Amino acid sequence: MKIALFPGSFDPVTKAHVDILKRALPLFDKVVIGIGLNSTKAPYLSTEKRKAMLRAVFANEPKIEVQTYEGLTVDFCKKINAGYMIRGIRTVSDFEYEKAIAQMNHALAPEIESIFIVSKPGYSSISSTIVRDILRNNGDVQQFIPKEAFDLL
């Protein structure tokens, strides 16, 4: 079984995340959306809210599971038997950052392959960081967040 991990904070999930995941889904038998918990960062949304949003967005997709994890992403991949890690690339700077992470992950766990999926142009400016800033300032984020997730905000 080909299992992939799509790791991230998903704080909040965006239409860009959904696009990457939907395009990756046909490549794998199962995709685990891994909500990484980082004790040095204070999330905007609770872990439970992020899980609920992702489960709502992908409620009709039996190949997708949502889980949380702490620690090294490659260790979580091993725990769930994922041989692949999906990463979205929006910009050249994303590529440089993700390439460095992929190379370190490969050094730690050469059996886990990083798969880069380039964002569609219409989604390249959408990031959770920017969406969080808009939310914090009471702006309208409806155009950036899937309806199922927006309904849970």
Selecting among 9, 119, 127, 128, the annotated active-site residue is 128
Segments of 3-140 assigned E as strands = 3-8, 30-36, 64-69, 84-89, 113-118
Selecting among 15, 50, 87, 90, the annotated active-site residue is 90
Measured distance CA(152)–CA(50) in Å, rounded: 9
Average pLDDT of the residues in 21-47? 93
Helix (H, G, I), strand (E, B) or coil at 79: helix
CA angle 80, 83, 85 (to 5 degrees): 90
pLDDT for residue 40 is more than 90: no
Average pLDDT of the residues in 112-133? 93
pLDDT for residue 39 is more than 80: no
pLDDT band at 82 (very low <50, low <70, confident <90, very high): very high
The pLDDT score that the predictor gives to residue 38 is: 82
Selecting among 17, 50, 87, 127, the annotated active-site residue is 17
pLDDT for residue 135 is more than 90: yes
The pLDDT score that the predictor gives to residue 41 is: 76
End-to-end C-alpha distance for the chain, whole angstroms: 35
- The reply to whether 17 belongs to the active site is yes
The set of residues, in sequence order, having a beta carbon less than 8 Å from that of 106 and lying 6+ positions away, is 112, 114
Average pLDDT of the residues in 99-117? 97
Average pLDDT of the residues in 8-20? 96
- The reply to whether 55 belongs to the active site is no
Average pLDDT of the residues in 91-111? 95
pLDDT for residue 42 is more than 90: no
Selecting among 41, 46, 120, 125, the annotated active-site residue is 41
- The reply to whether 106 belongs to the active site is no
Average pLDDT of the residues in 23-51? 93
The pLDDT score that the predictor gives to residue 31 is: 98
